[in-house]
Amino acid sequence: MDLHNASAFTRRAFMHRGLTLASAAVTVPAFLQSSARALMRPDAPLTSVPGVPDERILVVVQLAGGNDGLNTVVPFADRAYYNARPGIAIPEREVLRLSAKGSGGAGGAEGIGLHPRLTGLKELHDQGLLAVVQGVGYPNPNRSHFKSMDIWHTAETSGTGEGWLGRYFDNTCAGQPDCPSHAGVAIGRAAPLAMQGAKTMPVSFETPDLFRWTGLDGAERDPAQKTLDALVQGGPASPDGPDSQAAFLTRTALDARIASDRIRAAVASRPLVSYPNNPLARQLAMVAAMIRAGLETRVYYTTLGGFDTHAGQGGANGPHANLMQQLGAALLAFQQDLKAQGNDGRVLTMSFSEFGRRVGQNASNGTDHGAAAPMFLIGPMITPGVRGDHPSLTDLDQGDLKFGVDFRSVYAGILTDWLKTDPVKVLGGRFRPAKVVRG
């Protein structure tokens, strides 16, 4: 194929065929407007938008399936909890009790503790690095996994539109000459809706070995690859002009190739601390390695699944307890790694699930889909302690906890006080920013 034949090489076709992830994940590189050679600068900033800090990072940990918030943040002083869960409640003597220190009058830890397998989070709490936001949800909660997740991802109760982080990139990154394609990185088989914008998409991959540049297939490969190689070696830019389809191809292909090489080189390094052997820990170890390597990535997205515990959930032991162990141990190791790097002050970690579980256990010693649940925020920049009041266990919404904190106010707090971005432009509405980040 003649590379200069623009009609035969549309941008949409290239996006579908030119970038290949063996994991079959979705990835669309940014439409960079600078020359291809500028993309190779290792010191290129993420954005030139005034007032937006380039060094700050957000790491998202999604607990997929609907985490049982009541057995995660346990109201051990409330007898209604034990009455509703005779077979799966956490015994009071085993709860990891939280102190009231750092709650700042915005709620409190009186009678509240963590699941006994969340020793990692308890250690972070004791170090003043953990915020527990209680009773997080939204009006008229949806109990469908897919719809509720869409609502959390889009920050719209309709569950439609672009992702909230995608809109963040659209507003702070798209159109900037030095915005890298890997400004957002998701670890997983598919790019989460939360990170998909109207103009930007994240890089997404399951393992570094599966993330690689493969160029084009068949007859289209050689001309494109020769042009790409010439650019990498310092050759002339495309003769078709900066706005041509050929220039688009070479800019985008070069960006993808550099992102692939840099990410795979980064995650090949040995971490500075020992990580536990579990799926979330492996994801966070890769994230820590990319941060240590100085990638310009602003947001990383990870996921731990298995939280749809309808049967045989267990209390202090069982499937849910195993997930608690994985979560706490992985987050503690990640924070220790960041501190060893000297990067802990740059990284805020946020954990959420699409909904909690019902207050009462079901006939299968499990829990069904519920509503409000806690969120966790981790890092030296957060306002530590237990935030907000624990929802009532007797004043319920169709058997579910009533929310007291709209999740979008947590997003607004992160956008305002950490990412220094106007939350109205990102969330599409006005939500009082939760004071979860130190001023």
The per-residue pLDDT for 226 is 54
Give the position of tokens 């949800």. Answer: 137
- Tens of pLDDT along 26-79? 333 332 233 233 333 344 444 445 566 778 999 999 999 999 999 999 999 999
Is 241 within the bounds of a domain? no
Output the 3-class SS for 379-416.
CCCECCEEEECCCCCCCCECCECCCCEEHHHHHHHHHH
Q: Average model confidence (pLDDT) for the chain?
A: 80
Is 247 within the bounds of a domain? no
- Tens of pLDDT along 159-180? 999 999 999 998 886 556 555 5
- Tens of pLDDT along 418-432? 999 999 999 999 999
- Tens of pLDDT along 399-409? 999 999 999 99
Q: Which residue type sits at 417?
A: D
Is 14 within the bounds of a domain? no
Return the CATH number at 273: 3.40.720
Tally the domains of the chain.
Answer: 1
Contacts of 270 (CB under 8 A, 6+ apart): none
The whole-number average pLDDT for the span 335-362 is 98
Check whether 324 has a pLDDT greater than 50.
yes
CA quadruple 227, 232, 236, 238: dihedral sign: positive
357: left (phi over 0), alpha (psi -120 to 50) or beta: beta
- Tens of pLDDT along 174-214? 556 555 556 889 998 788 999 999 888 888 877 655 454 44
Q: With CA atoms as reference, report the closest residue to 382 among 14, 132, 34, 83.
A: 132
Is 105 within the bounds of a domain? yes
CA–CA dist 212, 152 (Å, integer): 30
CA–CA dist 103, 376 (Å, integer): 14
Domain that holds residue 400: 24-213+259-427
